[in-house]
Amino acid sequence: MVLLWTPPSITTTNLNMTYVIDDSRAKRNVFILVLAQAILGAQMPLIFTIGGLAGQSLASNLCFATLPISSIVLGSMTFANPISAFMQKYGRRAGFFLGAAGGAIGGAIAAYGLYSSSFAMFLAGSFVTGSYMTVQGFYRFAATDTASEGFRPKAISYVMAGGLLSAVVGPQLVKVTSDAMVIPFLGAYIAVIAINVFGSILFLFLDIPKPETPAADAPKGRSRWELIKTPRIAVAVIVGMVSYALMNLVMTSTPLAVVGCGFEQSDAANVVSGHVLAMFAPSFITGHLIARFGVEKIMAIGLVILSAAGFVALQGIELGNFYVALILLGFGWNFGFIGATYLLTASHDPHDRGKMQGLNDFLVFGGVTVASLASGGLMNCSGGTPQAGWTAVNLAMGPFLMLAGGALIWLMFNAKKEAA
């Protein structure tokens, strides 16, 4: 932050001076991160659209069809703490280059798995791709590093809004690349390699200073256990984990459900595209809503919308039901996840950043890993039909929504008690 002195004629303080916070560097960084979210982020809706279908073509058992998606989020969970510690030591730019390299290498391994018809190799490539997914998750945290307190929720929202373009580009790339070669989906993974190689050039223009090395006698900060016991942090982690896990649970099964219920692969891509657009479109206003109404209320609205998504999905298997349910799922994820991210960043000190952000994403993607594994089993092995599987997937949302809602209500009552 740069502190600028303003002339006495426009001041409102007794000392005839005031200080204005200059967020110009933060806004430049946000712009670059928005582009990164849009360009490099396009690989995620691309992979999530075709991962289950590609897995279905390679797996010997249909119950394992969504294992490639599960492998990605398992990799993301595995890499979360090491990459967070790496960025704490070497800076955001180095960490983001590392993530892009992981995305390119993972895409290459997965492409070879398709070429050789090796499901195990395809899973290995998906696991390595998880390193990029982890790093993409840190874009939202990086947006706050040089931002003022007032600009932080907006910075997070704007970076998440970069996913709008990725929501359009990713599924469209599926249509262009999935059948571009003799081997189905091979062209899509070659596109993933190119996205990471050329998109990573953006990080050369990022201006986020490396964290200062703490002095030997500097405070060590709180332990991970002390941090996670803090009520605001605990609720932020729970809501973030439930929002992301349930979104992934339903989205992973969606292409299989759409195709299984008699629609075309292009219909599945369009439904996923609509879903990802809904995930990021509200981001232009989510930060403003948090600043206006409070983060707890926005998270609560997100959980209610997620409940509505499950309700709509259970009403039928027409294409319109898929569209409406997945759009609501995206809106609910946006409010719940961005709200949880802001609550987390506002609840820990800068010297706890590496520990807490890594722990948060480890737990969040741990929940997403479980959801992805459950998604394939519920979709393909519950009742024997795609319709029964889709019903099981959406019914599974209920208990976790009650958990997150209960935690949020507890936090709000706890805050009232402390205020009293």
Residue 355 placed within a domain: yes
Residue 217 placed within a domain: no
pLDDT tens per residue, range 25-45: 999 999 999 999 999 999 998
Element (H, E) at 2: strand 2-5
Q: Please, what is the end-to-end C-alpha distance for the chain in angstroms?
A: 35
Q: What residues have CB less than 8 Å from 24, skipping those under 6 apart?
A: 2
Residue 297 placed within a domain: yes
Residue 1 placed within a domain: no
Residue 262 placed within a domain: yes
Domain of 332? 23-208+223-419
CA–CA distance, 234 with 363 (Å, rounded to integer): 11
Pairing between strand 2-5 and 19-22? Answer: antiparallel
Question: Quick one: pLDDT band at residue 6, thresholds 50, 70, 90?
Answer: very low
Q: What is the CATH number of the domain that holds 238?
A: 1.20.1250.20
Is pTM beyond 0.85 here? no
CA–CA distance, 244 with 101 (Å, rounded to integer): 24
Domain count across the chain: 1
Residue 17 placed within a domain: no
CA dihedral 332, 336, 341, 347 (to 10 degrees): 170
pLDDT tens per residue, range 214-239: 666 666 667 788 888 889 999 999 99
pLDDT of 382? 74
Residue 240 placed within a domain: yes
Residue 95 placed within a domain: yes
pLDDT tens per residue, range 88-139: 889 999 999 999 999 999 999 999 999 999 999 999 999 999 999 999 989 9
